[in-house]
Amino acid sequence: MSTALLTHADGLLHVTPTGMPEQVARLAYIQKALADLDVLRVDPPLAEDASIALCHPQDYIDSVRAKMPADGFAGLDRDTDAETFLCPTSGNAIWRAAGGAVHAVDMVLDGVVQNAFVAMRPPGHHAEQSLPMGFCIFGNVAIAAKHALEARGLSRVAVVDFDVHHGNGTQALLQDDPRALVITSQQMPLWPGTGVASDRGPHGTVLNIPLAPGTDGAHAIAEYQRLVIPALAKHAPDLILVSAGFDAHQDDPLAQLNWTADTYTRLTDMIAQSARDLCKGRVVSVLEGGYDLDALALCARAHVQSLIKATL
């Protein structure tokens, strides 16, 4: 068994306005950092609308297509603090980001690989049913989770989101389905302001882990050992999906946690061990945030190296 890396040059075509932290260079740095690793390299396909519609209504999907500008940028946010944009060449990037997550699930469930990392952009964990926000347009991980449940017939899945910002979109898209466990750790207080520990969702299948500014990797690892690993064991998923944001790194400009690349190695090791114990090692990881380019590249490499190690 091996690790698959799903990435594509189309991800570089989703251009954002100058000065935006979610930028083309994020993917370029990751692709360079992973270039020498021993993985199965796969082109992510364009998602079918039917897959995206597992989480988003067709009129929203159509509206994203309709708003693709002929030139310049089109802002998608409903408030005055615009941060989610389309450019003329965003379409394939957006549809491949979702399609890569779905295809990675199929590859892992079909036994082609044991685990996979989808290095595409834009990210997805803030997108709600008909609301793009926080650089996110479609809920890539939530779509992949629903595909695993609906199209592939799994009984239970789990999402572990270690991005520094709360995965409000993933929670919103999955919390009504008791087959999906949604675990997120996030700095609090921090945008988008959701993710309090008392919010367990309508079925008790949401686990929010707020972390105070300044929290270091050792504390985060202890919280994962105390809360995340037992929650995964109790839910007993057939597949674990990871929202892999690397913006909890101490150098990231958008937050104030003090994680290091070693933190991501150790968290990935823990998740991979849980997957071995619970679901034949099956893990699908999907890129979310991370905005210091050097730290992003370093942490993404550490994460994928840990996934590779789990297959040996």
Measured between alpha carbons, how far is 115 from 130 in angstroms, rounded to an integer? Answer: 30
Beta-carbon contacts of 65 under 8 Å, excluding residues fewer than 6 positions away, are: 91
Measured between alpha carbons, how far is 105 from 184 in angstroms, rounded to an integer? Answer: 20
In the 8-state DSSP scheme, what is residue 86?
A: E
Q: How far is CA 233 from CA 3, 82, 158, 161, 272, in A?
A: 23, 40, 10, 16, 13
Identify which of 265, 239, 290 has the alpha carbon closest to the alpha carbon of residue 122.
Answer: 290
Task: List Cβ<8 Å contacts ≥24 apart for 257-260.
Answer: 257/164, 257/187, 257/211, 257/213, 257/214, 257/215, 257/216, 257/220, 258/214, 258/215, 258/216, 258/217, 259/216, 259/217, 259/220, 260/217
Tokens of 59: 């009129």
Asked if 89 contacts 252 with a C-beta cutoff of 8 angstroms, the reply is no
Asked if 22 contacts 123 with a C-beta cutoff of 8 angstroms, the reply is yes
- Annotation marks residue 126 as catalytic: yes
User: How many other CB atoms sit within 10 Å of the CB of residue 212?
Assistant: 11
Identify which of 134, 117, 87, 101 has the alpha carbon closest to the alpha carbon of residue 291.
Answer: 134
Catalytic residue selected from 8, 14, 56, 126: 126
Tokens of 169: 């979109």
Measured between alpha carbons, how far is 5 from 11 in angstroms, rounded to an integer? Answer: 14
Which active-site residues does the annotation give?
Answer: 126
